[in-house]
Amino acid sequence: MSTIDSVLTETRVFQPSAAFVQQANISGPAAYQALCEEAERDFDGFWGRLAREHLQWSKPFTKVLDESDAPFYKWFGDGELNVSYNCLDVNLANGNADKVAIIFESDDGTVTKATYRDLHARVCRFANGIKALGYKKGDRSIIYMPMSIEAVVAMQACARLGITHSVVFGGFSAKSLQERIVDVGATLIITADEQVRGGKTIPLKPAIEEAFAMGGCDAVSKVIVYRRTGGAVAWNDGRDLWMHDVEQGQPDTCEPVQVNAEHPLFVLYTSGSTGKPKGVQHSSGGYLLWAALTMKWTFDLKPKDVYWCTADVGWVTGHTYIAYGPLAAGATQIVFEGVPTYPNAGRFWEMIQKHRATIFYTAPTAIRSLIKASEANPDQHPRKYDLSSLRLIGSVGEPINPEAWMWYYTNVGAERCPIVDTWWQTETGGHMINPLPGVTGLKPGSCTKPLPGIFAAIVDETGGDVELGKGGFLVIKRPWPAMIRTIWGDPERFKKSYYPEELGGYYLAGDGANRDADGYFWIMGRIDDVLNVSGHRLGTMEVESALVANPLVAEAAVVGRPDDLTGEAVVAFVVLKGARPDDAKAAEIAKELRNWVTKEIGPIAKPKEIRFGDNLPKTRSGKIMRRLLRVVAKGETVTQDVSTLENPAILEQLGKAL
C-alpha cells in the first residue's frame, strides 16, 4: 500500500464526463465558483437563502448566524422547525407519499419496502406510543439497535417529539453503553432482542441488562425492545416493553413538536485524544440543512435515484446519510442489515444489481477487503455482476489509497462513475471537503476541494497559512451550520479540543493535511492520539484505560500500525504486575487481554498485537514516548534521538515480537 509520499506524486486527473456535467445539480466549474463567491461576498445571505430554500420552518428565523458567544455559534437561532416533519410530512405533501423511502434487505436477503406514507405512519405511531409513556421534548434516549427500518423509525420518532437521541453502535460493549447512558442522562432506551449479521445472531438486549448491573442507570424508566429474531431475552416487567406493543393502537398521525433550530437533535459519542469519548452535540436546523443540501450537492441526488450508504446508524455517516439526509431530500434508499462478505464477498455487487442502485457510498476498508476477496474468488469480482445502474460512487472514513481508488473507479464505477471521496467528521455533521461530481477533476487519493461555504485551510501551530505543498493542521476558518455545538455537559473541553487559543478562532479538525499546487487537499491522518481502525475512530487512551483496568496489567501504551486492510491496527505494549511472561505464557495472557478489551469497548478496539515489556520507554519526566513505540510496532529499528529516554534498552526488548 502506498505511503503519503506516493500519494502526493499522484498526477492522474479524471475529469467528469460531459454527459454527467450536463445533468448535474451543480454543473461545471462556473456554478461552483459562483456559490463559493456568494458565500464569500455575503456569508449570512448565502446560508440564509439555502436554509429557506431547503427546509420548512414553522417559525422563520430572522438572524442567520449569532457569533456573540463564539465558539458557541448559533445558527438560525430564533427559527423553529421539526426535523421529522421535514423528513416525512414534507414528502407526503410534495407527491412522494407512494415513493419508496427505504428498501430494507436483511442479512438473509429478505427485502421489505416502506414508502414515505408507511414510514410516516410508523414514526407517528411509535412517537405517539412513547409520548403516551410520558416522554417529552428535552428528554434523552439511548438507541442500541441493529440496521433496520425500526432504527430509523426510532430516531425519527425521537426527533418528532424533540427527544435528543444518542445512538450507540451495536458492536459496542455493555461497558461503553453504560458510560453513554450515564453521561447523556438517558431516561429511555430503545433496543432489540438480537441482531443478525453474517449468518449469526448476536445478542443486544443482554448488554442492556449488563449495563444496568454496572449501576448509574436508574434514571432509565423504560426499555423498548424491537423483536428482531424472537430469541429468548431476560424481561423486567415494569420496565421493558415490546416496540410493537408501544405502537399498538396508536394513531398514525402525530403532531410534530416544533423546536428551536439550536435544539439538540442528537449526541453522538466519538473518540478524542484524551479521556473518555466525547458526546458531540448537534443541532436541529443547521444540521438538517447540511444533511439535505449535501445529498443534492455531493451525491447529485435526483428523484429517480436509488441511493445506498453502507454505514451503520451507530456512526455519524449513518445519521447524516441514512437517517436524516436521504429522507430530507426525498430519496429512495437501501438499508442493509448484513456484512459485505456474507454469504460471500459478492454481496454488495449482487445487491446493487438486484436493486438497480445508482449511488453507492462505502468505506475504503470495505473496498480493500473486497479487492482481496475478489482476487481470491474471481466469481465474486464486481465484473461478474451487472453494475450498469450505478452513476456515482463514494468513499468515507479514512484516506483512500490510490490503488484502492483505481480499483473502485475501474471495477465498480466502470470508469464512468465519478468517485466522491468525502472528508468530514462526527463533529462537522456532514461533508466538508470533497469533489462535486459535475465539477471537479478527480485525483486518486485526494478529497479535492472544500464545498461552497466551507472555509478550509492548512495552517501552522500559530494559525498562519502555510504555503501550498507544505503540510500542516487542517482547520475550518469560519463556522458552518452543521458544526458541533458543544461536547455534551463539557463546554470547556469543547473549546479546548476544537478552538485552541493559539489558532485564533479556527476550528481544529485534528487531521494533518497538505495542499498541492492546484489547491487540492490531501489528508495525512490524525495529528493526535486518535487511531482510525476500519474507518472508526478510537482513542489510544480509551484502549489503554481498558487494559490497565485488567487486574494483571500495571501499565499500557497503545499505538497504531499501518495495516493493509483496516488502515491502522491496534498494537499494545503492556507491563504486567507480575514478571514479564515467557513466550507460552505471553500468548495466553495476550489472548485474555484481547478478549478483555473486546468486552470493555467492543471488537473494533481489540489489539491486533500485544507485546510485553519490563517497562515502557519514558522520558525522564515520565512521559511515554509513543512516537518511538510506533516505530517499534512497525518492526523497524529506532533511529531517532533517544537521548531524552530514561531507559533506552527497553526499545530492544519491546522490538522482539513474539
Helix, strand, or coil (residue 465)? strand
The burial of 100, by beta-carbon neighbours within 10 Å (0-12 exposed, 13-18 middle, 19 or more buried), is given as: middle
Q: Is 386 annotated as a binding residue?
A: no
> Cell 463556522, residue?
479
Q: How far is the CB of 310 from ligand 6R9 (least distance, A)?
A: 13
Question: Residue by residue, what is the 3-state secondary structure of 186-208?
Answer: CCEEEEECEEEECCEEEECHHHH
Q: How far is the CB of 364 from ligand 6R9 (least distance, A)?
A: 8
Footprint of ligand 6R9 on residues 410-439 (CB under 6 A)?
Answer: 421-426
> Cell 466519538, residue?
270
Select 145 or 604, whichever has its Cβ closest to ligand 6R9: 604
DSSP string, 78-89: T-EE-HHIIIII
Footprint of ligand 6R9 on residues 46-105 (CB under 6 A)?
Answer: none
Give the integer Cα–Cα distance in Å for 233 and 237. Answer: 12
In this structure, are residues 288 and 265 in contact, taking their beta carbons and an 8 Å threshold?
Answer: yes
Footprint of ligand 6R9 on residues 273-332 (CB under 6 A)?
Answer: 315-317
Told to check if 594 binds ligand 6R9 by CB under 6 A, we report: no
Which helix (H) or strand (E) element contains residue 222? strand 222-226
Select 396 or 459, whichever has its Cβ closest to ligand 6R9: 396
Residue nearest ligand 6R9 (C-beta atom): 426
Neighbouring residues of 499: CB distance < 8 A, sequence distance ≥ 6: 70, 71, 505, 506, 507, 508
Give the CA radius of gyration of the chain.
Answer: 24
DSSP state, residue 614: S
Q: How far is the CB of 590 from ligand 6R9 (least distance, A)?
A: 28
Q: How many residues does the chain have?
A: 658
Q: Is 637 annotated as a binding residue?
A: no
Give the integer Cα–Cα distance in Å for 333 and 114. Answer: 10
Indicate the pairing of strand 65-66 with strand 74-75. Answer: antiparallel
User: Exactly one of 523, 538, 569, 616 binds ligand 6R9 (CB under 6 A); which one?
Assistant: 523
Question: Residue by residue, what is the 3-state secondary structure of 239-305?
Answer: CEEEHHHHHCCCCCCCCCCCEECCCCCEEEEECCCCCCCEEEEECCHHHHHHHHHHHHHCCCCCCCC
Where b means 16+ CB within 10 Å and e means fewer, 567-601 reads: bbbbbbbbbbeeeebeeeebeebbeebbebbbbbb
Q: How far is the CB of 575 from ligand 6R9 (least distance, A)?
A: 30
Q: Is 74 annotated as a binding residue?
A: no
Please tell me the count of residues contacting ligand 6R9 according to CB under 6 A. Answer: 25
Q: Is 200 annotated as a binding residue?
A: yes
**CA 557 to chain CA centroid, nearest Å:** 25
Q: Is 106 annotated as a binding residue?
A: no
Indicate the pairing of strand 332-336 with strand 306-309. Answer: parallel
Q: How far is the CB of 488 from ligand 6R9 (least distance, A)?
A: 15
Q: How far is the CB of 339 from ligand 6R9 (least distance, A)?
A: 19
Select 325 or 617, whichever has its Cβ closest to ligand 6R9: 325
Footprint of ligand 6R9 on residues 365-404 (CB under 6 A)?
Answer: 395-399
Q: Is 399 annotated as a binding residue?
A: yes
Helices (H), 75-214: 83-84, 90-93, 116-132, 149-161, 174-184, 205-214
Q: Is 407 annotated as a binding residue?
A: no
Q: Is 11 annotated as a binding residue?
A: no
Q: How far is the CB of 515 from ligand 6R9 (least distance, A)?
A: 14
Told to check if 510 binds ligand 6R9 by CB under 6 A, we report: yes
In this structure, are residues 331 and 299 in contact, taking their beta carbons and an 8 Å threshold?
Answer: no
Q: How far is the CB of 536 from ligand 6R9 (least distance, A)?
A: 6
Select 247 or 398, whichever has its Cβ closest to ligand 6R9: 398
Query: 447-486 mask for ligand 6R9 (x: CB under 6 A)?
Result: x---------------------------------------
Footprint of ligand 6R9 on residues 239-278 (CB under 6 A)?
Answer: 270
Select 314 or 613, whichever has its Cβ closest to ligand 6R9: 314
Select 156 or 426, whichever has its Cβ closest to ligand 6R9: 426
Select 290 or 315, whichever has its Cβ closest to ligand 6R9: 315
Backbone angles phi, psi at 183, to 5 degrees: -65, -40
Q: Is 511 annotated as a binding residue?
A: yes
Select 50 or 311, whichever has its Cβ closest to ligand 6R9: 311
Q: Is 426 annotated as a binding residue?
A: yes
Told to check if 337 binds ligand 6R9 by CB under 6 A, we report: no
Query: 530-569 mask for ligand 6R9 (x: CB under 6 A)?
Result: --x--x-x--------------------------------
Q: Which stretch binds ligand 6R9 (CB under 6 A): 520-528, 570-578, 604-612, 621-629?
A: 520-528
Q: How far is the CB of 317 from ligand 6R9 (least distance, A)?
A: 5
Give the integer Cα–Cα distance in Å for 218 and 207. Answer: 16
Select 396 or 553, whichever has its Cβ closest to ligand 6R9: 396
Give the integer Cα–Cα distance in Å for 513 and 272. Answer: 18
Q: Which residues bind ligand 6R9 (CB under 6 A)?
A: 270, 315-317, 395-399, 421-426, 447, 509-511, 523, 525-526, 532, 535, 537
Annotated binding-site members for CoA = 197-200, 317, 534
Annotated binding-site members for ATP = 397-399, 421-426, 511, 526, 537
Annotated binding-site members for Mg(2+) = 548, 553
Annotated binding-site members = 197-200, 317, 397-399, 421-426, 511, 526, 534, 537, 548, 553
